Structure 1
């Protein structure tokens, strides 16, 4: 019956959410290495069998947390026409700032940094599943803008690193040291705009003089 199927799907989704919430809390409180799947199951109030069915290993739980924190809509948030780099870069920069401001993002970074000496694979998974897909999207935009002649970019990877670095240096990294760092929307928008203007100053194509 369709109704029964929907009910079971919702139950499974609720249990998955409970597991990820419990795991995130435990990882933050006692560390990834000292947290067991059994502890996660107990904290989430689910059976071990239920947890193992969805997450066979602890690394699967971590990957799901990364997906949850970095999860993005498949629909573009704003126009990214390569012929209009100011609008396109602003849209991408705004989306990146919103991603970095999500609940759980700072905690995820703290966890990865704290556990890196013992579990370096966590940093790789966080990068590959989280940041890299968005980084590649911005890199492709720089390539498209260069092909369209609206930006003069010889190294799209470096341009992407510079732009995203300016934004994360204001939105995210202070939160690693200042728990109460919470810039308002206007300040974040201003940081994004300054990053865009800096990129345009470096890679923008000067207006050609009008022909006679």
Structure 2
């Protein structure tokens, strides 16, 4: 079943993949709004949004730097097939403009953190939120390192949210992780294309 899902994604055109990404984020945002409307009061909802720039940059940025450091170490020393996601992220980001990557990663970070940390973790706890987040990435089950990384990431960001009680911190951390890794995909693709162009000329 997982293999069939991966094969289906590989068969999608660039436009279809982008459409599915936006549709998925719209669904997550819709779920967050609907479920949150039953669980939050206005004051309790406001309480999870603290616009403390220093806290957002310090804790959100620090959280992201830890994750990125581990990711880059894995990419440097682990065999590529251990962390290969089937080319989905590469296909999604390799030809995007930097502003479009910024918009996509900001949207993903906002929608996913609002649902998983803001709504689910606030009311059901860290373990439940992280477990559901991991299950949504079930396509990584065939890649144990990737799946372990996703589960660890969810618990790590969830712990930071438990500590700060500030959703902006985890949104920024999630955004920074995705943005940097997406830029790396784009940079590697552009560099590879330039090398191939030089070799053929």
Q: TM-score, normalised by structure 1?
A: 0.32
Larger Rg: 1
**Which structure carries more helix by proportion?**
2
Q: Which has the higher contact order (CA 8 A, sep 6+)?
A: 2
